[in-house]
Amino acid sequence: MERYASAILFSCGAIAAMMNPVTLNSGYVFDARAVFIALAGPFGGAIAGVITGVAAGLTRFLIGGSGTFAGIAGIAVAMAAGVIFARFGPRRQTLRSLAILGLGTATMVFSLLLTDIDTAGSLFRRVGLPLTLVNILGVMLLGYVLEGTRRGTDHLRVVEFNADRDPLTNLFNRRALAQFAQNLRRQETGDTAHGCVVLFDIDRFKSVNDRYGHARGDVVLRTVADTITHRVRRSDVAVRYGGEEIAVILIGTAIDDARRVAEQIRGVVEELVFEHENQHFSVTVSAGISAFDADGTQLEHALDFADRALYRAKNAGRNRTETLLVPGLEVVSTGSTAS
């Protein structure tokens, strides 16, 4: 979506430049369209570059005049420069790279050769140097501003991402969970208004740290977290709930489907093998499941009951899954419900 939005933005810039041209001879106009067309590729992607070039070309065709063919050819040159730069140029733009792009864009001046020799000579003398400078300096200056904006946006995304993530496991943290719960309360209907909570806990995790060290314990926790995230949908939410506990919010999922997911994950974790100083060991997880819906049981209550179900699984011998539903909750189910 960002690329298509970029295409629209750069297309509008190119078209706006064409709406305020400097008229030379009859049918021949001079404007800064090439700056926007060339920059569309590096900052919006190759597709955005092509869309911008096509939009500008169609606009130039509709404007018409004796220089239409030469104008469209110049647009094609600027588009090609931007698309080539998007595919093979640097990901981060500097004044040097932008100067190279500007030089490539400035070659559009040779499109004037598509007119008759007398007209081409006259136009070269009048706009050859100004057109070249406008393209080079325009690409450099506007590109530098756009690159600064892009870097600032990327930095903000990283900050926002890290604020909602656990640095060890890369799972969401409790802050992100609280925000998700708040958003969920605003939903009244639909599949996303109900679901299940699965709370996993690594069995005897303290003994792993004590016996193999905290560094190896971190490896175990990250591996279990990766195992969980690779076996749930992208629409589900996996959270480091605390210590070695991981909560998974299964959106729009029936209770028995949630149990199947939990059992699958539990079985996969049980088969993992870890190594430390030529010693091999494995771990298991216990899981507690509960359900929620937007009309009655809030996510916080479901988490509390999932925690109680997890406690029951621990007391029953670990490496097992237990389900405990909030009293009075009507649960969407595709079969029998464990409780």
Q: Provide the annotated active-site residues.
A: 244
The closest alpha carbon to 39, from 75, 8, 81, belongs to: 81
Amino acid identity, residue 314? K
Q: What is the per-residue DSSP string for 173-213?
A: -HHHHHHHHHHHHT--SSGGGEEEEEEEEETTHHHHHHHH-
Tokens 């590109």 label which residue? 143
How far apart, in whole angstroms, are the C-alpha atoms of residue 177 and residue 239? 7
Residues 292 and 199 sit within 8 Å (Cβ to Cβ): no
Which residue stretches of the chain are H helix? 2-18, 33-44, 46-63, 68-88, 95-106, 117-163, 174-185, 205-212, 214-229, 255-271, 299-315
Positive or negative, the Cα torsion across 155, 230, 310, 220?
A: negative
